[in-house]
């Protein structure tokens, strides 16, 4: 809803995805000439000027974020570096800020990439936040710095970029112009082409599947809520607890859709007729069906038609015939929250002014509706790190013995470690916590877990629901990410993240529920000291 214009106050514009693009210098903007102090040797990469001008024309601010250890090593002077930068601006146009680390690896500074210091500095100088920035760079250090600050990373590999750096990148583009295409495409995708004249009436939104799926759909549902009088959410039993945490939802219908689950139960005609009756009773003016890329919205669209819903929007590669009014298509690899936002936009809905396009929970979370004893869900005092060893899907879980070693390593580094898990994971959390943590397995519901994660300095977790819970409450995540699905699509969204695990393992992109590779090497190989280092990267001091 647009705020009142009384008093001459102008409504804030709907925030786009990004305010700024940060660019690595050597290998990204200009050809990498090691320790270059000579302006004559500046050679822009092909298409750089035109690509940067397109970003400028889109209203994005630009900064350079660059490690220049040649200063510390005495290979060139600051005056020579300034001459090089003047030449770069002469060739590529002006930058709004230059963030430069003059240190060497041995200085232990907080600005040398992969540390996120330069990203924080550039965002501050440009008057924005890291989560509203994209960093384009050519090596893994750039991506690590971007993610650790909560920014988006786009890798533009060069011949010196290592294959494992390409595998681990959230997004990779062929070259700088292609990276710019991708940034601008993603920004356009979440903006409605044809904004609505007035508010919609009752809109039925649908997201089946588990808690994480429901949480990442939150921004899309908020966009619908911003333009509708009433929002009814249809979710499955596994997503119900997460649905209860989402802002913008007026009513929840919990109903398992038999064709969604794997293994899928048989379709029961009596149940389907009962669902149609329930959906008819909603009297929705329209419906927006959110799905994962491997799900079809069409079976449910047919039931919604039978329930009399006049306008239905969904993402569908399959020909929908008369089942959809708005058939939206999305390229592979888009972050799930943006996928949902882009469907909402295609249906004509945008986030309210001032509503950031990240994950969010209800503001009244924990103040009502929690019947558990306070002692069980109270947030412990003082700083602590949470390790959540379980996963909704076995292929994405770090083995228990490795999680125990991680707990021991974090405790040895001076952290108080809480180990969390659901009621059915008590055996697992007890085993993992025995290595030096406090076992909270089975003591909280999802809202209680959200409060514990919100109070944590950092969450160590696989690709499962609590990772998205952390994103929703702004807690940094050490993501033990099995590459069975794309990290750029399913990684914690717009929150500081350190990615660990073998991104190039043979299970990559298999979507396997059970790891198809003997020994589960993608996560068994996670090194506990690397987890300690990742926590230090995300939570300095």
Contacting positions for Zn ion (CB under 5 A): 101, 103, 109, 111-112
Instruction: Considering the complex, state which of residue 102 and residue 333 has its C-beta at the smaller distance from Zn ion.
Output: 102
Say if residues 491 and 170 touch (Cβ distance below 8 Å).
yes
Classify 112 in phi/psi space as left (phi over 0), alpha (psi -120 to 50) or beta: beta
260 vs 214: CA distance, rounded Å: 14
Instruction: Considering the complex, state which of residue 112 and residue 360 has its C-beta at the smaller distance from Zn ion.
Output: 112
Instruction: Considering the complex, state which of residue 71 and residue 417 has its C-beta at the smaller distance from Zn ion.
Output: 71
Degrees, nearest 5: CA angle 367-368-372: 100
Cα 150 from chain centre: 9
Degrees, nearest 5: CA angle 327-331-336: 90
Could you give phi then psi for residue 265, rounded to 5 degrees?
Answer: -70, 165
Under DSSP, the state recorded for 133 is E
442 vs 487: CA distance, rounded Å: 28
Q: Which two tokens stand for residue 353?
A: 């002014």
Question: How many residues comprise the chain?
Answer: 541
Residues with Cβ < 8 Å from 239, sequence gap 6 or more? 207, 208, 209, 210, 211, 213, 214
Q: Where are the beta strands (DSSP E) in 261-383?
A: 286-289, 312-315, 326-328
103 vs 105: CA distance, rounded Å: 7
Instruction: Considering the complex, state which of residue 72 and residue 430 has its C-beta at the smaller distance from Zn ion.
Output: 72
Only one residue has tokens 């879980």, namely 397
In whole angstroms, the minimum distance from the beta carbon of 104 to Zn ion comes to 8
Active site residue 527: no
**336-361 per-residue burial string, b: 16 or more CB within 10 A, e: under 16:** bbbbbbbbbbbbbbbbbeebebbbbb
Classify 436 in phi/psi space as left (phi over 0), alpha (psi -120 to 50) or beta: left
Instruction: Considering the complex, state which of residue 112 and residue 415 has its C-beta at the smaller distance from Zn ion.
Output: 112
The 3-state DSSP class for residue 348 equals coil
Catalytic one of 19, 24, 213, 355: 24
156 vs 154: CA distance, rounded Å: 7
Only one residue has tokens 């509708």, namely 228
Catalytic one of 26, 138, 209, 244: 26
Say if residues 224 and 201 touch (Cβ distance below 8 Å).
no
Under DSSP, the state recorded for 246 is -
Instruction: Considering the complex, state which of residue 76 and residue 259 has its C-beta at the smaller distance from Zn ion.
Output: 76
Instruction: Considering the complex, state which of residue 112 and residue 207 has its C-beta at the smaller distance from Zn ion.
Output: 112
Give me the helices (H) in 286-348, please. Answer: 298-306, 336-346
Active site residue 318: no
Instruction: Considering the complex, state which of residue 102 and residue 366 has its C-beta at the smaller distance from Zn ion.
Output: 102
Q: Which two tokens stand for residue 397?
A: 């879980």
In whole angstroms, the minimum distance from the beta carbon of 77 to Zn ion comes to 17
Task: Show which residues are catalytic.
Answer: 24, 26
């Amino acid at each position: 809803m647009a705020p009142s214009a009384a008093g001459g106050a102008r409504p804030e514009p709907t925030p786009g995805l990004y305010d700024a693009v940060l660019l690595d210098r050597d290998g990204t903007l200009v050809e990498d000439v090691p320790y270059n102090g000579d302006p004559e040797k500046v050679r822009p990469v092909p298409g750089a000027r035109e690509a940067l001008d397109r970003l400028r024309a889109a209203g994005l601010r630009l900064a350079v974020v660059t490690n220049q250890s040649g200063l510390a090593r005495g290979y060139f002077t600051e005056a020579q570096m300034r001459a090089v930068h003047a030449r770069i601006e002469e060739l590529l146009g002006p930058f709004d800020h230059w963030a430069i680390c003059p240190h060497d690896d041995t200085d232990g500074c907080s600005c040398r990439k992969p540390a996120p210091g330069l990203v924080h500095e550039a965002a501050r100088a440009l008057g924005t936040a890291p989560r509203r920035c994209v960093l384009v760079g050519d090596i893994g250090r750039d991506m690590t710095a971007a993610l650790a600050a909560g920014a988006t990373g786009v890798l533009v590999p060069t011949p010196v970029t290592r294959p494992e750096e390409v595998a681990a990148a959230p997004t990779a583009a062929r070259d700088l112009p292609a990276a710019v295409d991708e940034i601008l495409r993603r920004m356009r995708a979440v903006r409605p082409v044809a904004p609505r004249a007035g508010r919609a009436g009752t809109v039925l939104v649908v997201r089946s599947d588990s808690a994480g799926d429901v949480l990442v759909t939150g921004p899309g549902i908020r966009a619908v809520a911003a333009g509708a009088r009433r929002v009814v959410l249809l979710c499955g039993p596994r997503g119900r607890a997460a649905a209860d945490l989402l802002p913008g939802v007026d009513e929840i219908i919990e109903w398992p859709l038999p064709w969604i689950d794997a293994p899928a139960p048989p379709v029961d005609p009596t149940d389907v007729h009962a669902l149609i009756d329930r959906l008819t009773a909603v009297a929705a003016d329209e419906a927006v069906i959110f799905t994962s890329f491997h799900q079809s919205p069409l079976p449910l669209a047919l039931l919604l038609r039978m329930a009399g819903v006049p306008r239905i929007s969904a993402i569908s590669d399959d020909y929908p015939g008369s089942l959809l009014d708005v058939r939206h298509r999305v390229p592979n690899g888009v972050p799930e929250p943006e996928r949902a936002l882009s469907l909402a936009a295609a249906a004509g809905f945008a986030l309210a002014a001032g509503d950031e396009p990240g994950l969010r929970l209800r503001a009244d979370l924990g103040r009502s509706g929690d019947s558990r004893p306070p002692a069980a869900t109270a947030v412990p005092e003082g700083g602590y790190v949470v390790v959540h060893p379980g996963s909704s899907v076995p292929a994405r879980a770090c083995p228990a013995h490795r999680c125990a070693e991680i707990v021991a390593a974090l405790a040895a580094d001076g952290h108080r470690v809480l180990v969390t898990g659901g009621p059915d994971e008590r055996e697992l959390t007890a085993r993992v916590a025995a290595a030096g943590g406090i076992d909270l397995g089975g003591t909280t519901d999802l809202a209680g877990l959200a409060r514990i994660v919100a109070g944590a300095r950092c969450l160590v977790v696989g690709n499962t629901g609590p990772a998205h819970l952390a994103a929703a409450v702004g807690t940094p995540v050490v993501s033990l990410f099995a590459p069975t699905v794309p990290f750029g699509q399913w990684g914690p969204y717009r929150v500081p993240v350190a990615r660990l695990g073998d991104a190039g393992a043979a299970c990559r992109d298999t979507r396997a529920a059970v790891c198809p590779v003997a020994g589960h090497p993608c996560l068994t190989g996670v090194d506990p000291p690397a987890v300690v280092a990742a926590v230090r990267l995300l939570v300095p001091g």
